[in-house]
């Protein structure tokens, strides 16, 4: 009787650990850049550059249940602005931002679940003012953002990915009587959710 009781208890505990074990991961990033180049008065020039890159990876493996999870995020921002001329005034202002967050859950067993959620957004803004100047004003910026996820159980694999590549540029040339302004704006947002449940 004592031996049977211990065996029964061991089975209950084993089933409990198999059905409740899970992997949960979440990661996010936020990167922004500001760039300004301006000149006024006599002959002169101004220039500015920015470059930023972020990236991270999360991995998890549950050897007991044979489940695993992997997710990655990367983002790169590059900005370049210049103002070359004489007299009057010239100005370039640039703003760039990238934000991402992703979440994943893997649970094995009868009530198993593979779930992943991703959100990725980017924004670019360029403003140029060229007033009464003889010369050229330019601004260029680019941004790349990417996310990837993989959730695996003994019964299947779920994969998700998102990618954004954006480029923005503006250029102005003028003379002594020129009054030119340029405003560029770009925004992009990606969202996706994947869920698979039951006997996974």
Q: Give the C-alpha distances (Å, rounded to integers) separating 6 from 1, 11, 16, 105.
A: 9, 9, 15, 33
Q: Any bridge partners for residue 9, and if so which?
A: none
pLDDT of residue 150: 92
Confidence band for 164, pLDDT divided at 50, 70 and 90 = very high
* Span 56-74, pLDDT tens digits: 899 998 888 888 999 999 9
The string of DSSP codes covering 79-108 is: EEEEEEEESSEEEEEEEEEEEEEEEEEEE-
Q: Of all helices (H) and strands (E), which one includes residue 18?
A: helix 2-20
Q: Report the Cα 104 to chain-centroid distance in Å.
A: 16
Confidence band for 96, pLDDT divided at 50, 70 and 90 = very high
* Span 17-57, pLDDT tens digits: 344 478 899 999 999 999 999 999 889 999 999 999 989 89
């Amino acid at each position: 009787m004592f031996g049977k009781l211990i065996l029964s208890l061991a089975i209950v505990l084993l089933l409990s650990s198999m059905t409740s074990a899970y992997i949960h991961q979440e990661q996010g990033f936020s990167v922004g850049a500001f760039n300004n180049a301006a000149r006024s008065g006599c002959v002169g020039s101004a220039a500015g550059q920015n470059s930023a890159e972020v990236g991270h990876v999360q991995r998890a493996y549950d050897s007991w249940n044979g489940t695993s999870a992997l997710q990655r995020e990367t983002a790169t921002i590059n900005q370049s602005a210049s103002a070359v001329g004489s007299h009057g005034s010239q100005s370039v202002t640039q703003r760039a931002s990238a934000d991402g967050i992703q979440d994943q859950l893997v649970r094995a067993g009868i009530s198993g679940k593979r779930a992943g959620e991703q959100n990725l957004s980017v924004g670019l803004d360029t403003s140029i003012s060229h007033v009464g100047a003889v010369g050229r004003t330019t601004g260029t910026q680019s941004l790349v953002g990417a996310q990837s996820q993989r959730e695996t159980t003994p019964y299947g694999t779920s994969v998700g990915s998102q990618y954004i590549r954006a480029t923005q540029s503006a250029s102005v040339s003028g003379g002594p009587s020129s009054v030119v302004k340029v405003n560029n704006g770009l925004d992009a947002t990606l969202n996706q959710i994947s869920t698979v449940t039951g006997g996974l």
